[in-house]
Amino acid sequence: MFSEIHVPRSLRQILAQHINPTEELVRDLEQAARLVQVEKGEAVVRQGELCNVFVFNRRGLFRVCNVTDGVEDTILFGTSGDVFTSLHSYYAKEPSIFSLVAVEDSEVWLVSYDRMRDLESRHPALIAWMRSLLIEQTYGFEKRYTFFNNKTAEERLLNFMRISSGTLRRTSVKYISSIVPLKYIAQYLKITQSTLSRLRKKLVTSNR
């Protein structure tokens, strides 16, 4: 789910990825949203805590991660135009099982669950938008499962480069690592950082 990392996305543009929003819906969502600056390394949603907001990524790069038995795993990356919340919190009022952490200084809009539910009651199109968003995110998790099924470490890295759109698709392996720290890419690919470094050197050498 990579778009142009540094190109700001308006709330209208984010909604328009799934629906054709009315002027009234856009206006009401803008009034409900709070623009927040997020520093590199800061978590907008924290694992183990109840989430109560939808996060609309205006500009920047985030990672979705989980820590189990002291081992951290990077699940997904998200850029400008992406939306995140904890379904555990939204649906069942349970603590989030993921954290959403900024990889670089970013900007997001936050809309509380109460405000979103109020908007849903007045704008049926927003319900259609949320359904499409949830389908897209479920599809993304399924693709990640397929992504790792019976793939070697090198195939995972090549697939990562291939499926990443926007900035990361157009750039070299060296530039990818300048955007996302190697340890997070290694977590995402489920390989060691040393293996990733070796594969990067191999690919850079073969592309000369």
Nearest of 45, 61, 75, 76 to residue 7 by alpha carbon = 61
Say which amino acid occupies 17: Q
Which region, left, alpha or beta, applies to residue 196 given φ > 0 means left and ψ of -120 to 50 means alpha? alpha
**Stretch (H or E) spanning 127:** helix 124-148
Structure confidence by residue, pLDDT tens digits, 105-125:
999 999 999 999 999 999 999
Confidence of residue 178 (pLDDT cuts 50, 70, 90): low
DSSP 29-59: HHHH-EEEEE-TT-EEE-TTS---EEEEEEE
Cα–Cα distance for residue pair 108/59, rounded to 1 Å: 7
Look at residue 177 and tell me whether its pLDDT is greater than 70: no
Phi, psi at residue 72, to the nearest 5°? -90, 140
Cα–Cα distance for residue pair 185/42, rounded to 1 Å: 18
Burial of 23 (0-12, 13-18, 19+ CB in 10 A): exposed
Task: Check residue 176 and give its pLDDT.
Answer: 54
Task: Check residue 63 and give its pLDDT.
Answer: 93
Q: Which residue has the higher pLDDT, 170 or 36?
A: 36
Percent of the residues in the chain that have a pLDDT greater than 90, as a whole number: 59
Please answer whether residues 44 and 108 qualify as being in contact, where contact means their C-beta atoms are separated by less than 8 angstroms.
yes
Count Cα neighbours of 141 within 13 Å in the Cβ-side half-sphere.
6
Look at residue 2 and tell me whether its pLDDT is greater than 70: no
Q: Could you say which DSSP state residue 121 is in?
A: H
Look at residue 91 and tell me whether its pLDDT is greater than 70: yes
Q: To the nearest whole number, what is the mean pLDDT of the chain? A: 86
Strand locations in 20-162 (E): 34-38, 43-45, 53-59, 62-68, 71-78, 83-84, 99-102, 106-112
Q: Which two tokens stand for residue 184?
A: 């997070």
The predicted model scores a pTM of 0.84
Question: What residues contact residue 113 under an 8 Å CB cut-off, 6+ apart?
Answer: 52, 53, 54, 89, 90
Q: Which two tokens stand for residue 161?
A: 């480069």
Structure confidence by residue, pLDDT tens digits, 134-161:
898 888 778 777 777 778 888 888 877 7
